[in-house]
Structure 1
Amino acid sequence: MVIHYKCPNCGDDMSFDSESGKLTCLSCGRQDAIENFSDEFITTTFEENETKEYHCENCGAVLLTDADTVATTCSFCGAGVVIAERVSGTLAPSLVIPFSINKDEAVAAFKKWCKNGLVTPNDFMTADRIKKLTGMYVPFWMYDLNSRVRVSGSGTKVREYTSGDYIYTETSYYRIFRDINLDYMKVPVDASEKMEDGLMDKLEPYKYDQLKTFKTPYLAGYLAEKYNYDDKALLPRAKTKIQSFIDSYIHSTVSGYATFIPEQKEIESKKMKSYYVLLPIWMVTYHYRGKDYIFAMNGQTGKVVGKPPISRAKVAGWFGGIAAITLLIFRLVTFFMGGGLI
């Protein structure tokens, strides 16, 4: 079953508008609040690796999708469609963060980001070389985790004082024990095998207070995929992601000590709850000097991640400038120490 949103007024295609947050018809301007839509999906299933054929209800053209596609656009008429059976049952997301940055804003934000590169070639943005810009919802699992942390170790406190003509340093040694209970809410882990984990991690954070109950109209006009890994498979990654925060919290509890050496540490993290969510991302393919560069942009905050080309001339200039400044400082220090200018 293909879900396709038609305007009740003029019959044209409707899509999600990131500015108003409503399902919008670009022809007549009609807007409908997404909260008013009722999601009544059929619950048919399909094989995991199945490539399936659908038909666009707008023009009748064939829509050939892979097994992961949840939402797409018709390559003939451009209509945004949602594959209903892939957002139903166990494949139904519970939450979504809608796009808040539209296509034009994404292009402008990307160009601004490129121009800020200190060692990016000057001609990198002198022409419109954006080859492809795709707005897509990437599947994530979010976890509410509880961590019980038991730590023991040794610490010192140092006190310096003066008595008569002498300065004394007193070092006191302590045994330190900590029994900590920590909750981490909505820890995100991307669930798509097509997306690079490191790239997705760098796009964080999102504004999770803007999570909304999932409705299919949010997907209209964008691409979307279903998850490849369930919440059990990705739970170890979620636990790994909070490790640095746990370590930081442990150290914050011993900030009054001059030194702290942990000798034994036990961490038991458990899942309290998991959520299947869709998060918005703009994928940018940029062509420069015969090579394509891939960038990703947070569709809510505009944060861009990726590796632009590097200008060798600028890098050489930076190192040359640093070397010149270092040499000047060395000569000035030598002069003021009585060595004279070299």
Structure 2
Amino acid sequence: MVIHYKCPSCGSDMAFDADSGKLSCHSCGRQDDIETFSDEYITRTFTEDDAKEYHCENCGAVILTDTDTAATSCSFCGAGVVIADRLSGVLAPVKVIPFSITKEQAEVAFKKWCKNGLLTPKGFMSANRIKKITGLYVPFWLYDLNSEVEVHAEGRKVRTYSRGDYIYTETKYYDVYRNMDLYYKKVPVDASKKMNDELMDKLEPYHYKDLKTFKMPYLAGYIAEKYNFDDKELFPRVRQKVRKFIDSYIGSTIVGYTSVSYRDKRIDMKKDNSYYVLLPVWMVYYDYDKQEHTFAMNGQTGKVVGRPPISYGKVAAWFSGIAGTTFLSLKFIQWIVGAGL
């Protein structure tokens, strides 16, 4: 089933506007609240099977998608459509964080971010090389976790002192024990096989106070993916992700020792809850030196992640500058010391 949202004033297609947080008509400028938008202006096209081919209600063109796409735009008339049967039943998200950054704002923010790259090649910053910016709702699972932690360790305090002609080293050993319950709320893990996990992790954090109850109009005008992995399949990954925070926290509670050796560290991690949500991401595709570079931007906060090309000439010059500055500083200190003699 393909869904269109028609403007009650002029009949054109409406799409979600990140700036206002409403359904917006680009033809007449009308805006409607998603919560109160009438079903009368929602048109649905049904299909007998879950094929990769749908028909646009607006212009009649064939919309081709892969089986993971849940929202897209018609390539012919540009109408935003939502493929509802890929967002229903077990595939229905519980929550969504709507886009709060528009495409125009994303482009400006990305260019500003690029200008901070002092070691990128000449021309990378100044040229308008953005090939495409795509607003994408990425499927995530949010986990609420409870971890029971028990730690046995040995702490050592080493003190060195001298008496007469002798130097003494004193080592004291301590039994260290920790037993604690740790709770982590809304730990995100992306559930799309298309998205780079490292890239998605670096987009964090999102502000979960802005989570909304999922409604399909939020997706109108954007691309959305359905999840490829359920919460059980991704639990080992969220365990690995949270384990790093737990290890860091344990270390923060054992201080004041010269060294610490862990005898036993037991972490029993359990899932209290998991939520299927859609989070906003701007994907930026950038051409440079006959190659396409991919960057991602948090569609809520504007945080940009990616790896721009590096100019090795600028890197060499930067290190040379540091070396030169250090040399001049030493000469200046020598001059001051010499002048004071």
TM-score (norm 1): 0.89
Aligned residue for 2:75?
75
Q: Does 1:10 align with 2:10?
A: yes
Q: Deviations over 1:198-220 (max 9, x none)?
A: 11111111111211111100000
Q: 1:264 to 1:118 in 2, by over 3 A?
A: same
CA distance in 2, matches of 1:265, 1:224: 41
2:57 maps to a residue whose letter is: E
Q: Deviations over 1:11-44 (max 9, x none)?
A: 11111111111111122222222223589999x9
Aligned residues: 334
CA distance in 2, matches of 1:35, 1:296: 30
How far residue 259 of structure 1 moved from its aligned partner, in angstroms, is 3.6
154-163 or 63-72: bigger deviation: 154-163
Task: Indicate conservation of the 8 Å contact 2:143/2:188, yes or no.
Answer: yes
Q: Does 1:90 align with 2:90?
A: yes
1:90 maps to a residue whose letter is: V
TM-score (norm 2): 0.89
Aligned residue for 2:265?
265
Aligned residue for 2:276?
276
Task: Indicate conservation of the 8 Å contact 1:41/1:85, yes or no.
Answer: no
Task: Indicate conservation of the 8 Å contact 1:45/1:85, yes or no.
Answer: no
Aligned residue for 2:136?
136
Q: 1:100 to 1:289 in 2, by over 3 A?
A: same
1:65 maps to a residue whose letter is: T
CA distance in 1, matches of 2:332, 2:116: 33
Identity of aligned residues (%): 65
CA RMSD for the aligned pairs? Answer: 3.0
Task: Indicate conservation of the 8 Å contact 1:41/1:88, yes or no.
Answer: no
Q: Does 1:287 align with 2:299?
A: no
Structure 1: stretches of 5+ with no match in the other structure:
none
Task: Indicate conservation of the 8 Å contact 2:3/2:43, yes or no.
Answer: no
Q: Deviations over 1:286-338 (max 9, x none)?
A: 11122211111111111111111212321121121123234445666788999
| Counterpart mapping for 1:13-24 below 5 A | 13-24=13-24
CA distance in 1, matches of 2:119, 2:198: 23
Task: Indicate conservation of the 8 Å contact 1:51/1:64, yes or no.
Answer: no
Task: Indicate conservation of the 8 Å contact 2:47/2:54, yes or no.
Answer: no
Aligned residue for 1:66?
66
Secondary structure at the aligned position of 2:8 is classed as coil
Task: Indicate conservation of the 8 Å contact 1:95/1:276, yes or no.
Answer: yes
CA distance in 2, matches of 1:215, 1:189: 21
Task: Indicate conservation of the 8 Å contact 1:41/1:84, yes or no.
Answer: no
117-126 or 1-10: bigger deviation: 117-126
Q: Deviations over 1:212-260 (max 9, x none)?
A: 1111000000001101111111000001111111012112222344543
Structure 2: stretches of 5+ with no match in the other structure:
none
Aligned residue for 2:305?
305
Q: 1:41 to 1:257 in 2, by over 3 A?
A: farther
1:315 maps to a residue whose letter is: V
255-264 or 118-127: bigger deviation: 255-264
